Amino acid sequence: MVTVGISHYCEKVRWTLDSLRTTESGKYQLDYYESAHVPGLAACYTTLLDEGTSATPIVRIEEEGEGRVLKDSTVIMDELSPPGFWGERQEEGREYEEMLDSQLGSGVRCFAYYHLLGRGNDGVLAGLGGDQTSLIEQKVFGVMAERGMIQPGMKKFMGITEGGMEESRRVVRGVFEDVGERVKGGGYIMGDTFTRADLTFASLASPLLNLTQFKNSRNMYDQFPKELRDFSEELRR
């Protein structure tokens, strides 16, 4: 699996593969190797698996001497998840996962990057961007971030604007409110069973929650911009 180390979409697939790696059922047991890279450079590795693909995550599956490539977190989950991972409400669960991908996933990314890509946060961006990658990539990305060389390109590539950030804040709040109602009383998003909807919500929300299980290895939350920390506290409540 080729990833951007800090990507929450990659985290979604990582959790899926981890659940298959540790399952008691031999039918779904597998192992995987992750090649994590800094934003931008990951495209050099995704194109080795698929010439026209620059986006992560991307997975190459080796089966009986043959390889095939899967792209997009939901497609990868479709292919690898065990039957029943949708729960009994499969159609509704699929629609909800697609909503989480498009609204929560993109909203979290836009809101977080808007603040992290601002000047004055170069060190934080450098530390986060290099997470789980090689020492040489960490060094190169860190130097470029501290010199302000990559921020403009990342903003342009992801379409990060102030208006988009404010809209993302509204959308993410709305998703959290809806999920809060659904899980009230100790249930899960799609009823009484843990499903892909729960995994998708948790992984895509993780960058803004600062929970112990999701902490970046550099534990840089205290250095985040104040508005980002304030929104994180609101969402945790």
- Residue-wise pLDDT tens digits, 73-103: 999 988 888 777 877 888 898 999 999 999 9
Instruction: Please say whether the dihedral angle defined by the alpha carbons of residues 59, 63, 68 and 70, taken in this order, is positive or negative.
Output: negative
Q: Which of 99, 51, 84 lies closest to 201, judged by CA?
A: 99
* Domain segments of the chain as ranges: 2-80, 90-236
Give the CATH number of domain 2-80; options: 3.40.30, 3.40.190, 3.40.50, 1.10.760.
Answer: 3.40.30
- Residue-wise pLDDT tens digits, 157-201: 889 999 999 999 999 999 999 999 999 988 899 988 899 999 999
Q: What angle do CA 222, 226, 231 make, to 5 degrees?
A: 100
- Distance, CA of 72 to CA of 60 (rounded, Å): 12
- Could you tell me the two tokens for 196? 């892909």
- Distance, CA of 72 to CA of 82 (rounded, Å): 18
Per the confidence metrics, is the pTM higher than 0.75?
Answer: yes
- Distance, CA of 11 to CA of 154 (rounded, Å): 20
